[in-house]
């Protein structure tokens, strides 16, 4: 089966600019996650969707970050305006259902550099 697709792979922007990342999960996967991974650290969950509803966005900096999953399939994550500390890899993951024993499949990520 095709994996989780993300684009772009790399993005360089200046601080205060805006940027958007796109994710296409594995077909049929209802749950979609966005993680932020700062260099040298493990990934940190930003937001989780179940179909097109938000399950957990407690660690999403809502003053500058937003995410949507309008039709319960693709998702976009936006940062506006970007700060230097937003430089990180943004990972999208999906899983087929809630409950235990459900592994999450990750995309390759988008590496964002804010200068």
Partner 1 sequence: DAKTTQPPSMDCAEGRAANLPCNHSTISGNEYVYWYRQIHSQGPQYIIHGLKNNETNEMASLIITEDRKSSTLILPHATLRDTAVYYCIVRVASSILTGGGNKLTFGTGTQLKVEL
Q: Which residues contribute to the site for partner 1 (CB under 8 A)? A: 4, 31, 33, 40-45, 48, 55-56, 91, 93, 95, 98-109
| Closest distance of CB 47 from partner 1, Å | 10
Longest dimension (CA), the chain: 41
Nearer to partner 1, 27 or 41 (CB): 41
| Closest distance of CB 81 from partner 1, Å | 27
Nearer to partner 1, 110 or 114 (CB): 110
CA 58 from chain centre, in angstroms, equals 14
- Rounded to 5 degrees, what are φ and ψ at 86? -80, -5
Residue from 48, 28, 60, 53 nearest 92 by CA: 48
Strand order in the sheet with 5-7: 5-7, 19-24, 75-79, 65-68
| Closest distance of CB 87 from partner 1, Å | 16
Helix (H, G, I), strand (E, B) or coil at 84: helix
| Closest distance of CB 58 from partner 1, Å | 9
Nearer to partner 1, 14 or 56 (CB): 56
Nearer to partner 1, 24 or 95 (CB): 95
Asked if 26 and 40 count as a contact pair (C-beta separation under 8 A), the reply is: no
């Amino acid at each position: 089966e095709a994996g989780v697709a993300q684009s772009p792979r790399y993005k360089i922007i200046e601080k205060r600019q805006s940027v958007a990342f796109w994710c296409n999960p594995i077909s049929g996967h209802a749950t979609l996650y966005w993680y932020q991974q700062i260099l040298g650290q493990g990934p940190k969950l930003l937001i989780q969707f179940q179909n097109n509803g938000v399950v957990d966005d407690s660690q999403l900096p809502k003053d500058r970050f937003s995410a949507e999953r309008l039709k319960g399939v693709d998702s976009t994550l936006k940062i506006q305006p970007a700060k230097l500390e937003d430089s990180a890899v943004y990972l999208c993951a999906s899983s087929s259902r809630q409950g235990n024993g459900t592994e999450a499949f990750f995309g390759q990520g988008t590496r964002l550099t804010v200068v």
